[in-house]
Amino acid sequence: MRRFFFTPIRMKAQLLLMRATNALPQEQREWGRAVISELNEISGFWPSLEWIAGGMTAMSKAALHNVLHNVLPNILTGAWRKQPGQEPPYATAAGIGFILLLVPFYFVSASLLNQWGIRWFFAPIEHWLSRPGQAAAFNIISPVILLGTLLCSVLLNLATLVSVVREEEAGGMVRVVKLRVRSWNLAAIGLGLLLTVVLLGYAFVENFGTRVRL
Amino acid sequence: MGRTIRLSSQTRAVLSAFLERASQWRYGYDLSRETDLKAGTLYPILMRLSDAGWLEARWEEPSSPGRPPRHMYRLTQDGRAGARAATKDARARSTHPVYNEV
């Protein structure tokens, strides 16, 4: 009989990890469960942790590969629309949308908190800006990254919610715009638009201040 | 099925481990210990081999109640042929090294 450790903590960790594998694409879940089930054969805290970390890294890479090569092209090209009865990938679009919003959300929150005297979050950005060469690079790169991620998030979620279809009506073909209501996708769009307004507002105030001419 | 496989040194190590007991079902952790590969390296290789049709996988029935099943792997006919060719090729290269650099 091999080493077999069924401690309550290990069992709880395994159950949690098994649940986490549900976030993986269908075809990779089995592999995720395979990694976790092997934990029963491993003794010791660090070897077990190393095994979990390795397995989860492999599964995350596979999931990312799947998102980049299958899910995103599927949403962006509208390929899912061509399959009859296929539901739009709402959850995936919302998930990717919120991940894309992380960077602008951090930047806007850190800047606002900095204005209100909480400087801890803005410190890394300030440190970066304190060097002349890096500040110049930041001024060029940051609008592209911030507005780019915001635009991608909003468009991605709009693509799943809005569709234009041709339908027969009164003997002729008409184009109908359909809008689906999904709370998480709408939340991603709403947050994306809010952050865009704040960023553009800030850029406007910063660059187009009133000049008094006498 | 029938996908080409990138034969890295790690993939060859996994194939060699399978070939040693070609007809037996093997477990992930045992393969990891035998090849000295971490889970993060081993499982992507197993997934690629399985996608290419070189490996078959199944869940083992639990040996005692309450114990979760384990995933097991075995080379297919294609896998055995491919693995033999790959390891033979590696041996030939190590016996007759090709020097590309001066």
Q: Which CATH topology does B9-61+69-90 take?
A: Arc Repressor Mutant, subunit A (1.10.10)
Residue A177 belongs to what H/E stretch? Answer: strand A172-179
Task: Closest CB to A54: pick one of B40, B67, B71.
Answer: B40
In this structure, are residues A56 and A34 in contact, taking their beta carbons and an 8 Å threshold?
A: no
Look up residue A85 and give its two tokens: 């009865």
In this structure, are residues B71 and A34 in contact, taking their beta carbons and an 8 Å threshold?
A: yes
Digit-coded pLDDT (tens) for A81-111: 666 666 777 887 888 899 899 999 999 999 8
**Residues A123 and A17 both lie in one domain:** no
**Residues A98 and A203 both lie in one domain:** yes
Q: Which domain holds residue A137?
A: 88-207
**Residues A106 and A161 both lie in one domain:** yes
User: Residue A24 domain-assigned?
Assistant: yes
Number of compact structural domains in chain A: 2
**Residues A26 and A104 both lie in one domain:** no
User: Residue A191 domain-assigned?
Assistant: yes
With CB atoms and an 8 Å threshold, state whether A58 touches B69: no
The last residue of a domain, from among A17, A47, A76: A76
**Residues A57 and A101 both lie in one domain:** no
Query: What does the domain layout of chain B look like in residue ranges?
Result: 9-61+69-90
User: Residue A96 domain-assigned?
Assistant: yes
Digit-coded pLDDT (tens) for A154-200: 998 998 888 777 777 777 888 888 888 889 999 999 999 999 999 98
DSSP letters for chain B: --------HHHHHHHHHHHHTTTS-EEHHHHHHHHT--HHHHHHHHHHHHHTTSEEEEEPPPSSTTPPP-EEEEE-HHHHHHHHHHHHHHHHHHHS------
In this structure, are residues B35 and B10 in contact, taking their beta carbons and an 8 Å threshold?
A: yes
Residues with Cβ within 8 Å of residue A163, at least 6 apart in sequence? A81, A88, A177, A178, A180
Given CB atoms, is A35 within the 8 Å cutoff of chain B? yes
With CB atoms and an 8 Å threshold, state whether A37 touches B43: no
With CB atoms and an 8 Å threshold, state whether B67 touches A40: yes
Digit-coded pLDDT (tens) for B75-84: 999 999 999 9
| pLDDT for residue A125 is more than 50 | yes
Q: What is the pTM of this model?
A: 0.59
pLDDT at A211: 61
Is the ipTM reported for this complex over the cut 0.90?
no
Look up residue A172 and give its two tokens: 């002729």
The Cα A154–Cα B9 span in angstroms is 44
In this structure, are residues B47 and A62 in contact, taking their beta carbons and an 8 Å threshold?
A: yes
